[in-house]
Chains A and B, each alone.
Chain A
Amino acid sequence: MKKGSFLLPVLFLCVWQLVCTLGLLPPSKLTSPLQVCLGMKDLLTQGMPPGFLLPMHALYSLERVLYGFSLALLLGVPLGIAMGGSRTLRNLLYPMVNFFRPIPPLAWVPLAILWFGIGLKSAAFLIFLGAFFPILLNTCAGVLAVEPILVDAARTLDASRWNIWLKVLLPGSLPSILTGIRIGMGIGWMTLVAAELTGVRQGYGLGYMIMSAHDLQRIDEIFAGMVAIGLIGLAIEWCLARLSKSLLKWK
C-alpha cells in the first residue's frame, strides 16, 4: 500500500472524532472513534453477548463464508466457461440469470430456513447467492473477451480444440475470472449479516454479534463490529489481490 492511501482514512477519523468531541451529534447517535476503540476492547475481552468473544464470532463467520463462496466458485467458474463457449447455452441461461441476480439475498431468508433449516447450510446458501453471479458473469465475459484473432491464429497452427481452450481461452479469460472471484468474495462477505439472520445455533457470528449489541443498546460495539467486518474484508481482498497478481505474472 502506498503512503498516500493512509492519508484519507486518517483525515476521515480526525473529522469523525472532531464531530463527536464538539458535540455536533449526540453520543447516542454517533459514537466517537475513541469510544469505538473501547468498544472493540470490550468485544475482545468481555464479548457480546457477554462471554462470546470477537475472535470466535469471526471464525464462525469465516466458516460460513468459506462454504458459500467455495460452492459459488465450484459452480460459477465451470458454468461461466461453458456459457462463454456456447452461444446456445448463453441464450438459454441469460434470462434466468438476469431474473435471479437482482433478488436480494435478504429476501431468500425465509425460504433458506424452510429448505435448509437453521444454521450453516442456510447461511452458506445465502452467501452462495451473493457470490455466485459475479463469478459466473465475469467468467463468461472473460471467455467472450478473448480476441478472436488469437483463436484463429491457434487454429491456423492446427491446435486441437482442447489446446485452444487450455492455451488460449482459459489464460486469456483468467484476469476477468479473478476479478469475478474478488467481487464474488466481497459480495459474499457483505451477505454475511443477512445470512446470520437465519439464526445461529452456536451463538457465534459477526452479524449475530452486531444484532446482540443492538439488543443491548451498545452503539459503540455496533460500530466496533462493523469495523471488524470491514477489516477482515480488507484483509481477504488484500490476499486475493496478491494471489491474482502472482497468477497473472505472465501478462
Chain B
Amino acid sequence: MSRKRLAAGVFLILIASLVFPSKSQPGGQPVRMAYLQNDLHHLALWIALDKGFFIEEGVSIEVVGVFRAGAAIMAAFGAGDLDMAYVGESPTTIAAARGATRVQVLAQANTEGTALVVSRSQSSISGLAGLRGKTVAMPGIGTVQDFLLRKALRSQGVDEKEVNIMVMSPAGMLTALQAGQIDAFIAWEPYPSKAETMGIGRSLVRSRDIWQDHPCCVLAADQEFLKARPLDAQAVVRAHVKATKYIREHADEAVAVAMKYTGMDEATIRAALKNITYTTELSLAGEEEFVRFLSLIRYIKISDPQTFMEGFIDRRFLQGIRP
C-alpha cells in the first residue's frame, strides 16, 4: 500500500471514530450532568467519576457542561439540555420559584465551604463593618455567596448600598484582588484558600460564622427526567452517597482527586477541604431560610413556603424508597 493510501485509511478511521463515538460506559442512555467550574463543593461527583461508583451502580454519566454560575445551569435545565446537576441551593430555589425550570433537589452535596477574603493590603479591615465603601466581588446575583454576603452585612448593620458589590467569575477574583482592583471577594472553595496560599488575601469571615451548617450545593434533577428514568436517578444518588462517605473516610485520596480535577496545589486543597462539610442530608429548615431571606431581599415571591418546599425537595431517592 502506498503511503498516500495508508494516510487516507488512517484519516477515514479517525473521521469514523468522530462520527460514531464508541460507548465506553455501561448502561443505557447516559445521565446528562453539569457542575460549576472548579467548585470543590461537588467533590463527590469527581470522586464517583474517578472511582467508578456510577459504573458500579449501573448508570453512565455524561458531563455536558462545566458552568461559571448556577443561573447558567438553571438556564440549561430550562432548555432541556440537562438531567441532573451539582449546583447551589440558592439559584436552584430561585429558578424553581420563578417557574423557569422544573427541578427538584434530591440530596445535599455539602454545607458551608464559602469564605470572604480581603486583600492583604487592606490590613485595617478587621470585620464586616470595615467593608463600607470597599469593592467586594461575588460570583453572581442570587448565588449562595450573594446570599451569604447580604446576610452577613445585614447582621452587622451594614447597608448593602454602602458596599460596592460587583459580579465577577471566581477565577477573575484572584487576579483582580492581586491587581488591587477589588478589596475583597466572597467565593466557593478552593478560591478563598487559593488567595491565602498565593499570599494575596486573608480570610475575614468563613461562611460557617455567617450561618452555621448552612446548606450550600445540592444534587438537583429535572422533573421530567425523574418521571421518565427514576431508576437512573436512584443510582446516581446511591453513587453520590457512596462518594460522600468516601470523602470522609479517605481524606488523602480525596485530596488527590480534588487536585487532579481542579489543577490546584496540595496546600490550597487541604486548607479548602477544612472549610467544607460533606453531607448528603437535606435540611428543610435550611431551605426555609433560603426561601425566607430570598423573599426578603425581593429576589423571589413565594406566598406559601411550605407547599413550595414540598414540591421542591424530594427525599425519597435519598431514603432509598423505590420511586
Interface residues of A (CB under 8 A from B): 28-29, 46, 49-51, 113-114, 117-118, 199-203, 208, 211-212, 214-219
| Contact partners of A214 in chain B: CB under 8 A | 71, 75
Contact of A46 with B298 in the complex, beta carbons under 8 Å: yes
Number of interface residues of B (CB under 8 A): 34
Task: Say yes or no: B98 contacts A218, CB within 8 Å.
Answer: yes
Task: Report the minimum CB–CB distance from B134 to chain A (whole Å).
Answer: 11
Contact of A219 with B181 in the complex, beta carbons under 8 Å: no
Of B99, B137, B167, most A-chain CB atoms within 10 Å: B167
Establish whether residues B161 and A50, one from each chain, have CB atoms under 8 Å apart when the complex forms. Answer: no
| B60 interfacial by beta-carbon distance below 8 Å | no
Which residues of the partner chain B approach A51 to less than 8 Å between Cβ atoms?
161, 298
Residue of B nearest to A214 (CB): B71
Q: Which residue of chain A has its CB nearest to the CB of B102?
A: A28
Residue in B142, B166, B172 whose beta carbon sits within 8 Å of that of A216 in the complex: B142
User: Which residues in chain B, 21-63, are within 8 Å of chain A measured between CB atoms?
Assistant: none
- Once the chains bind, are A212 and B141 in contact (CB under 8 Å)? yes
Assess the A211–B299 pair: CB atoms within 8 A.
Answer: no
Q: In the complex, which residues 138-190 of chain B have their Cβ closer than 8 Å to any Cβ of chain A?
A: 140-143, 161, 164-168, 172, 175-176, 179, 181-182
Cβ contacts under 8 Å, A117 to chain B: 179, 181
* Complex Cα spacing A91 to B308, Å: 67
CB pair A217–B100 under 8 Å, yes or no, is yes
Contacts of B95 in A (CB 8 A): 217
One of A199, A217, A218, A219 near B166 (C-beta < 8 A): A199
The list of the 5 closest CB pairs from A to B, nearest first, reads: A215-B141, A217-B100, A50-B298, A217-B98, A215-B71
- A residues near B175, Cβ cutoff 8 Å: 113-114
Whether B234 is near chain A, meaning CB under 8 Å from some CB there, is no
A-B contact pairs, 7 of them (CB 8 A): A50-B297, A113-B181, A118-B166, A215-B71, A215-B140, A217-B71, A218-B98
Total A-B contacts with CB atoms under 8 angstroms apart:
73
Inter-chain contact A203/B69, CB cutoff 8 Å: no
Set of chain A residues within 8 Å of B100, measured between Cβ atoms: 28, 217, 219
Please state if A215 and B142 are interface contacts (CB–CB under 8 Å).
Answer: yes
Chain A residues whose CB sits within 8 angstroms of the CB of B299 once the complex forms:
49-50, 216
Residues of A within 8 A of B98 (CB): 216-218
Closest Cβ–Cβ distance, residue A222 to chain B (whole Å): 10
Across-interface contacts of A118 in B (CB, < 8 A): 166, 168, 176, 181-182
Nearest Cβ on chain B to A211's Cβ, whole angstroms: 7
Q: Is the CB of B164 within 8 A of A217?
A: no
Residue contact B71 to A28, C-beta cutoff 8 Å: no
Write out, one digit per residue, whether chain B residues 104-147 have a CB within 8 A of any chain A CB (1) or not (0): 00000000000000000000000000000001010011110000
> In the complex the two chains form, is B71's CB within 8 Å of A49's CB?
no
Residues of B within 8 A of A199 (CB): 137, 166-168, 172, 176
In the assembled complex, the CB of B220 is this many whole angstroms from the nearest CB of chain A, namely: 14
Instruction: Known pairs A28-B99, A212-B141; list 4 more (Cβ under 8 Å).
Output: A49-B299, A114-B175, A117-B179, A215-B167
Provide the bound-state CA to CA distance between A28 and B100, in Å.
5
Once bound together, how far apart are the Cα atoms of A201 and B75, in whole Å? 26
List chain B residues, Cβ under 8 A from A200.
166-167
Chain B 64-79 interface mask (CB, 8 Å, partner A; 1/0):
0000010100110010
Complex contacts, A217 vs chain B, CB 8 Å = 71, 74-75, 78, 94-95, 98, 100-101
> Which chain B residues numbered 224 to 267 have a C-beta less than 8 Å away from chain A?
none
CB closest chain-A residue, reference B140: A215
B142/A201 in contact, CB under 8 A: no
B91 contacts the other chain (CB 8 A): yes
